Amino acid sequence: MLTARELLEVLQKNDIRFFTGVPDSGLKDFLVYLNDQKNVAHVRAANEGQAIGIATGYHLATGKMPLVYLQNAGLGNTVNPLTSLADKTVYGIPMLLFVSWRGEPGTTDEPQHARMGEITPKLFELMDIPYEVANGDIAEFETQIRDLKTKSMAEQQPVALIFQRGLFAEEKSAEEFSGLKRQDTLEIILEKIGNAPVVSTTGKTSRELFELRDARQEGHEKDFLVIGSMGAASLIGLGIARSVQETVYVFDGDGSLLMHLGALPTIGHYAPKNFCHILLDNRVHESTGNQPTVSETMDWEALFRASGYEDVKRVSTKEELAALDVKHLKSPSAVIISLVPGSQKNLSRPSAKSPVERKKEFMSFIEKFRA
């Protein structure tokens, strides 16, 4: 097992001192530790492809090797800049990718990780990126870092280290905050929107929605849970809204929305008359261990308005939320809800039925709303 402190020391010894990426729970401890270090250069990226861009800029300016951390789910976002920017047939940019391995064959994981879990090593082979699977023994790990760095610098190309689950020592548990939380919010909104279709984002939002439907003794057919493809919820919502009459509610996260922010002007441009975007703004990637997003410095209201949303509201308290007439906003509308991070300890995961079965139920549910 590795501790975050040991790991950072090894990296610094090898003069790897610049960090960027998108968090994952497999690297949670390391990332929480990294965020706490005031003297470490760290840029929190909105998506993994952008992290490759940031890392490239660092290398251009310093000649040194940056580190990019990501979950393998985000590898798809990196393929374009890795192959057309950092590849040795183009600009040849040395960088070390720390990739956490969800869906590793032979392990138990969620269905959305199975395909990428299987092809992660093959993707590196296809992209001709040398990789190793990280060793939990610190001395071995140090050798791996040294060798990968030497290769990356000598051949002027990216290299990768893949982290299996459970390689890090036990994490410190998340801080408790008091204030409006996601689950209470979702409950109030579900009460208000009745029988409308919902598209909900990746991570704990979909898991809480799933639990709430059970608690309310409702089925799950009204919800399309975006369990993978982080950042796609609002775009899926747009595709649905263009094809049905009923209002579509999108439950989004700040991390998810930031990942594909281009969704906003697209939605604003096409301006569906039945679209409500609910942003659950807890300012962190709570699902992967509360690593901060850049939401803190965002003017979300201005951004939604500038993108063409007709009605934009911010809600910060339970009372304000209770008073919100979400059914009568001018569409496309946005409700930005300021939340504190926090969810139940033993949050379940949608199970019993496969994603395909749930998709079929959702499709039969929205069929009656077809335009």
Ligand X SMILES: Cc1ncc(C[n+]2csc(CCOP(=O)(O)OP(=O)(O)O)c2C)c(N)n1
**Residues ≥6 apart with Cβ < 8 Å to 90:** 83, 84
What distance lies between CA 315 and its chain's CA centroid?
A: 23
Which is nearer to ligand X, 10 or 129 (by Cβ)?
Answer: 129
Cβ 322 to ligand X, closest distance in Å?
22
Question: Which tokens in the block code for residue 219?
Answer: 């089925």
Size of residue set near ligand X by CB under 6 A: 24
From 20-28, 131-139, 183-191, 325-333, give the range in contact with ligand X by CB under 6 A.
20-28
Candidates 69-77, 125-133, 161-169, 312-320: pick the segment binding ligand X (CB under 6 A): 69-77
Q: Which stretch binds ligand X (CB under 6 A): 26-34, 242-250, 283-291, 314-322?
A: 283-291
CB–CB of 252/281 below 8 Å? no
Complex with ligand X: residue 145 or 335, whichever CB lies closer: 335
Q: Could you give the CA distance from residue 191 to residue 204 in angstroms, rounded to a whole number?
A: 19
Measured at the alpha carbon of residue 188, what is the angle toward residues 184 and 191, in degrees to the nearest 5? Answer: 140
Shortest spacing between CB 76 and ligand X, in angstroms: 7
Q: How far is the CB of 107 from ligand X (least distance, A)?
A: 17
Question: C-beta of 63: minimal distance to ligand X in Å?
Answer: 29
Specify whether the CB–CB gap between 67 and 44 falls below 8 A.
no
Q: Is 287 in the site for ligand X (CB under 6 A)?
A: yes
Residue 333 as a binder of ligand X (CB under 6 A): the answer is no
CA angle 244, 248, 250 (to 5 degrees): 145
Shortest separation between residue 151's beta carbon and ligand X, angstroms? 26
Among 149, 222, 285, 313, binds ligand X (CB under 6 A): 285
Q: What is residue 259's three-state secondary structure?
A: helix
Integer Cα distance of 307 and 161 in angstroms: 39
8 Å CB contact between 262 and 46:
no
Binding map of ligand X across residues 291-330, x = CB under 6 A, - = no contact: --x-------------------------------------
* Nearer CB in complex with ligand X: 142/223: 223
Question: In the complex with ligand X, which residue's Cβ is closer, 274 or 343?
Answer: 343
d(CA 225, CA 48): 22
Verify binding: residue 211, ligand X, rule CB under 6 A.
no
- Tell me the backbone φ, ψ of residue 247, rounded to 5 degrees: -70, 135
Give yes or no for a contact between 115 and 355, defined as CB atoms under 8 angstroms apart: no
- Which is nearer to ligand X, 51 or 244 (by Cβ)? 51
Residue span binding ligand X (CB under 6 A) among the ranges 86-94, 164-172, 261-269, 282-290: 282-290
How many angstroms separate the CA atoms of 321 and 18, rounded? 41
117 binds ligand X (CB under 6 A): no
Rounded to a whole number of angstroms, the minimum distance from the CB of residue 143 to ligand X is: 29
Distance of CA 98 to the CA centre of its chain: 16
State the amino acid at position 262 in one-letter form: G
Name residues contacting ligand X, limited to 242-281 (CB under 6 A). 253-256
User: How many whole angstroms separate alpha carbon 335 and alpha carbon 257?
Assistant: 13
Q: Which of 20, 50, 56, 77 binds ligand X (CB under 6 A)?
A: 77
Residues in the chain, total: 371
Range 224-243, binding ligand X (CB under 6 A): 230
C-beta of 219 vs 262, nearer to ligand X: 262
Work out whether 23 is an interface residue with ligand X (CB under 6 A): yes
Rounded to whole angstroms, the Cα distance separating 302 from 264 reads 12
Site for ligand X in 183-202 (CB under 6 A): 201-202
DSSP strand pairing (291-292 vs 284-285)? antiparallel
Chain residues that interact with ligand X, rule: CB under 6 A: 22-24, 71, 73-74, 77, 201-205, 230, 253-256, 282, 284-288, 293
